[in-house]
Amino acid sequence: MRPNTPGLPLLAALVLLPLSLAGCSETAPVIPPGALDCSPPAQWRAGQNGDAAQAACSEAEAREAQVLGSELHALRSEYEQIAEALRLAPEADDVGARTRRQRQLQVDMEAIESEARVRGWSGANAGPGAG
């Protein structure tokens, strides 16, 4: 005769449910130190840092994130170069043109940053270390 154990199925469910749901979590995967992170947010950050594209990262969205991050890095660098030139020569003949170029760079940078936020590469949706 089988012993009466009405709580056993409930106990099993309480133990097994969290284990089965562990794979369903929405947290970003943990990348071991030194391993290449080919996620789009990681490639976005790499591009912003001026890092070269990784050949191993072949996913289209990761490549696009790296390219846009690199473009943002280049635009920021140009903006800073113009700012430095304006600081060194505030009375130069081309101040108006340089100021207009800076404004266009700001517009372009804002557009790229907005695209990254919408895609989830930057901001709260991008996972740990996003920026």
Count how many Cα atoms sit within 13 Å of the Cα of residue 66 in the half-sphere of its side chain: 19
**Is the pTM here over 0.85, yes or no?**
no
Residue 59, domain member (yes or no): yes
State the chain's mean pLDDT as an integer.
80
Residue 20, domain member (yes or no): no
pLDDT at 48: 96
Give first-to-last CA distance, the chain, whole Å: 63
Domain that holds residue 83: 37-122
Across 23-32, 74-83, 87-96, the highest mean pLDDT is recorded for 74-83
Position with higher pLDDT, 126 vs 45: 45
What are 37-46's pLDDT values in tens digits? 999 999 999 9
**Averaged pLDDT for residues 58-83:** 97
Residue 81, domain member (yes or no): yes
